[in-house]
C-alpha cells in the first residue's frame, strides 16, 4: 500500500515538477514571476480540445498544434507585454502577468463557456501490475505516459541547456546579462526563447493533466500553486531543485492523504515546506547570493 502511494505521488509530483520547471526557466533568464502561467497552459488545453474534439483532428496533430500555440503565447507575452516595460519596474511586469491571468480567464469564458470539457486518455488499456514486497502495485497506462513524457522533457531540457550554444547562452544571460552582452550574446533573443520554452512546457502540462481534471477556465489553478510551491521548495533558480521539490510534494501529499486525512494533505505538505524554508530560506538546492552592503 505504501509503495502504491509513493508511485502515485511520483506521478502527481512529476506534473508539479514540470510546472515548476516552466516557471523557473522563464524566471532564471528574465527575472519575472509569471502568475499567468497556468492560464496560458489552460488556453492551450482548450486549443487541443477544439482541434481534437470539435474539429476531429487526430491526437498527435492536436497535441502538436496546442503545444506550438503555447510556445507562441509565451513569445507574445514576453515580446509584446513584458519587454516594453522591462526597464521601468520589475513590479510592473508582475502586475502585467496578473492582468494577463484575468484576460485569459475571461477569454476562455467568452469563447468556450464555463462548462467542463472532457479530453480522453490517450492510453486506456489494461494497467500495469507489479508485484513488490508481497503486495501489488497498479499503474494505469496513462500514468506511465505522463511519467514518460515528463521524464523525456526534463532530459531534453537539461541536455539543451548544457550541450547547445543557445542553452549555454541562455545560462550566461541568467547568470549576468551585462557580461553576456559583452560576450556578443543577444540577451533579448535568449529571453524570448526562455518564454517560448516556458509556454510550451505549460501547454504540455495542461494537456497531460486535462483528462484527470477536465478542461475549464480554472483547471490549472491548483497545479500552478503547487508548481510555485515546488519551485520555492527546491530553490526558485534551480532546475534540479524544481524537479526534486515537485516529486517530494507529490509523495508527501499522497502519503498524508492516505494515512492521515485527504483534507489535510495540502496543508500538511505546505507546513513541511514552511518548516524547511525557515531552516533553509533559499530552498533545498538554491544558493545564497552575496549582496554588497
Highest mean predicted confidence (pLDDT) among 23-27, 89-93, 270-274:
23-27
Q: Please report, for the chain, the start and end positions of each structural domain, with discontinuous segments joined by +.
A: 2-279
Lowest-confidence pick of 2-6, 133-137, 196-200, 215-219: 133-137
Cell 526534463 locates to 154
Retrieve residue 234's grid coordinates. 527546491
| pLDDT tens by residue, 158-192 | 999 999 999 999 999 998 889 999 899 999 999 99
pTM of the predicted model as reported, rounded to 2 decimal places:
0.90
pLDDT of residue 198: 96
**Which CATH code fits 2-279?**
1.10.3470
pLDDT of residue 152: 95
Residue 122 has pLDDT above 90, yes or no: no
Pairing of strands 135-139, 128-132: antiparallel
Average pLDDT (232-259) is 87
Residue 218 has pLDDT above 90, yes or no: yes
Residue 55 has pLDDT above 90, yes or no: yes
Average pLDDT (72-94) is 88
Residue 1, CA distances (Å) to 103, 142, 251, 255 in order: 44, 20, 13, 10
Amino acid at each position: 500500500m505504501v509503495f502504491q502511494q509513493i508511485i502515485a505521488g511520483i506521478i502527481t509530483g512529476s506534473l508539479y515538477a514540470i510546472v515548476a520547471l516552466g516557471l523557473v526557466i522563464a524566471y532564471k533568464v528574465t527575472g519575472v514571476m509569471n502568475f499567468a502561467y497556468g492560464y496560458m497552459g489552460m488556453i492551450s488545453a482548450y486549443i487541443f480540445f477544439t482541434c481534437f474534439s470539435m474539429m476531429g483532428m487526430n491526437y498527435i496533430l492536436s497535441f502538436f498544434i496546442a503545444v506550438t500555440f503555447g510556445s507562441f503565447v509565451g513569445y507574445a507575452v514576453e515580446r509584446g507585454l513584458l519587454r516594453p516595460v522591462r526597464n521601468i519596474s520589475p513590479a510592473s511586469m508582475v502586475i502585467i502577468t496578473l492582468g494577463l491571468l484575468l484576460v485569459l480567464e475571461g477569454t476562455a469564458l467568452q469563447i468556450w463557456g464555463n462548462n467542463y470539457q472532457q479530453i480522453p486518455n490517450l492510453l486506456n488499456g489494461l494497467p500495469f501490475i507489479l508485484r513488490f514486497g508481497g503486495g501489488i502495485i497498479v499503474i494505469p497506462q496513462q500514468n506511465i505516459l505522463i511519467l514518460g513524457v515528463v521524464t523525456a522533457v526534463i532530459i531534453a531540457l537539461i541536455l539543451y541547456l548544457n550541450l547547445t550554444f543557445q542553452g549555454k547562452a541562455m545560462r550566461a544571460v541568467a547568470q549576468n546579462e551585462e557580461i553576456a552582452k559583452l560576450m556578443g550574446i543577444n540577451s533579448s533573443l535568449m529571453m524570448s526563447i526562455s518564454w517560448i520554452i516556458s509556454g510550451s512546457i505549460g501547454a504540455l502540462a495542461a494537456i497531460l493533466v486535462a483528462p484527470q481534471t477536465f478542461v475549464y477556465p480554472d483547471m490549472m489553478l491548483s497545479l500552478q500553486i503547487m508548481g510555485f510551491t515546488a519551485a520555492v521548495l527546491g530553490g526558485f533558480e534551480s532546475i534540479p531543485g524544481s524537479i526534486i521539490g515537485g516529486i517530494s510534494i507529490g509523495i508527501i501529499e499522497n502519503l498524508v492523504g492516505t494515512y492521515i486525512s485527504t483534507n489535510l494533505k495540502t496543508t500538511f505538505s505546505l507546513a513541511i515546506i514552511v518548516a524547511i524554508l525557515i531552516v533553509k530560506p533559499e530552498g533545498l538546492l538554491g544558493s545564497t547570493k552575496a549582496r554588497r552592503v
